[in-house]
Chain A
Amino acid sequence: MALTKVDQTMVSDQVFGRRNLFVNGDMQISQRATSVSNVSTTAYHTVDRWELTNSSAGTWDVSRDESVLPAGQGFAYSQKLDCNTADSSLDAGNYLIWRQKIEGINLQHLKYGTSSAEKLTLSFWVRSAKTGTYIVEFYNNNSAGFKIQSQSYTISSADTWEKKTITIDGDTALGFQNTTDAELLVYWWLAAGSTYSGGASLNNSWNSGVANNTRAVGQVNLADNTSNNWYITGVQLEIGDKATPFERLTYQDQLRLCQRYYYQTEGQVYYNGYGTSADTYSLSNVELPTVMRANPTVTDSDTANGTSFQTGAISRFMIYGAATNNASAAARAKLYAVSEL
């Protein structure tokens, strides 16, 4: 039921300030690419912060779609996974998961590990050509001993947008560590071999020592036919037992949140120092637009007018690129900084 007013319980939860624990839940930011074809690897392929984790469960065309959207909801993008090569008979250990990892420093207000642990509500719009039962899993990655729980949702009608809402209890026993590591992971299982789905029943409350085969019981195999696809957008995870309207952020606010984990320069960076002499290094420091989660891994591409190109992280705020001049034009390259969870 749509909310018509803010009630007292929501105010005392957290209705002011940012509500959505996810970044880029509306798939607005896609720094790396907007589509990639026939992928079989685990990576952040298109939309920022959302990772496709594939263990031999078909190959996929992954894109940020701009045309298949829930009508009237105000979303401009969805994440689309389109089966390119099917795997109708998964091996036991095969899986396909779409997920986001959340830093522990952004989870402390959930008060997990205390008697005041907050409920969490997950809401999202989803659509698929394949109907049936799907699993969402919540994973507390505390190094003292992780705990997980799974919940199911049903896609009832093929090729039709449906809004799903899932509420889970807080865990009073195990907290989220106050670190910049991945402390809460939310998995959308899309295919799961028997290693993950062969148990008798789904592990649907916070538990440690969970048998792997109870994590995705009932999950359909989205990889079983090349006509299968899966779309999702409007993904929100928030404190409380109600799904509030999707939190809208401006493009630049959302981009800045994403750039804590991945940044690429807009085209090539020109290295200073050209004109001194050949065979000496020229260098450019690039101040990052926001503090990155950790010192980033740095790479380059589109190198020109130099040799011995190198890059590196100076800090969480600064990277550099350098090259040996060739004394005919300024050395330059495009730079990438990665500090994903």
Chain B
Amino acid sequence: MYEGQVLNITSAKYFNGIIGEKQSIKATIDGQVMYVPLDEDNTHYREIMRQVDAGTLTIEAAD
């Protein structure tokens, strides 16, 4: 795998927004709040799931 960007993800939580339940992951990435779609083609989502699989990040349940 090529030299990738290791994102500093300090929080991740499934987000129930106004367009539906569990519509995205609300994550703080490199200090910025981002809404990451549950799309395997999205590189932020992939990195979140990579860190989850590595045991270094947990996605909290939605409110």
Contact = CB atoms under 8 A, between A and B. Distances in A.
A336 B61 CA distance: 25
Contacts of B24: 312-313
A274 to B, nearest CB: 16
Interface of B is mostly: mixed
B3 A55 contact: yes
A294 B3 contact: no
Given A146-B1, A293-B41, A341-B43, A322 B35 contact: no
B41 A313 contact: no
Interface residues of A, number: 34
B19 interface: yes
Contacts of B18: 281, 283, 310, 322
B42 interface: yes
B35 A310 contact: yes
B59 interface: no
Contact of A299 (B34, B39, B42, B43): B34
B30, B34, B37 — which one has the most chain A CB atoms within 10 A of its CB?
B37
A84 interface: no
Given A296-B42, A299-B32, A312 B2 contact: no
A53 interface: yes
B17 A322 contact: yes
Contacts of B41: 180-181, 293-295
Interface string A145-182: 01000000000000000000000000000000000111
B33 interface: yes
Contacts of A311: 35
B2 A141 contact: yes
Interface in B1-16: 1-3, 5, 15
B23 interface: yes
B6 to A, nearest CB: 8
A299 B19 contact: no
Interface string A262-297: 000000000000000000010100000000011111
Contacts of A283: 18
Interface in A26-59: 41-43, 53, 55
Contact of A312 (B5, B23, B30, B44): B23
A53 B6 CA distance: 11
A295 B17 contact: no
A195 to B, nearest CB: 11
A298 B1 CA distance: 26
Nearest to B40: A294
Interface string A297-341: 111000000000011111000001010000000000000001111
Given A53-B5, A146-B2, A294 B34 contact: no
A16 to B, nearest CB: 31
Interface of A: 41-43, 53, 55, 95, 97, 139, 141, 146, 180-182, 185, 281, 283, 293-299, 310-314, 320, 322, 338-341
29 contacts: A42-B5, A43-B5, A55-B3, A95-B3, A97-B3, A139-B2, A141-B2, A146-B1, A146-B2, A182-B2, A185-B2, A283-B18, A294-B39, A294-B41, A295-B37, A295-B41, A296-B42, A297-B34, A297-B36, A298-B34, A298-B35, A310-B35, A312-B19, A312-B35, A313-B24, A313-B39, A322-B17, A322-B18, A338-B44
Given A181-B41, A310-B17, 7 more contacts: A146-B1, A293-B41, A294-B37, A299-B33, A299-B34, A310-B15, A313-B24
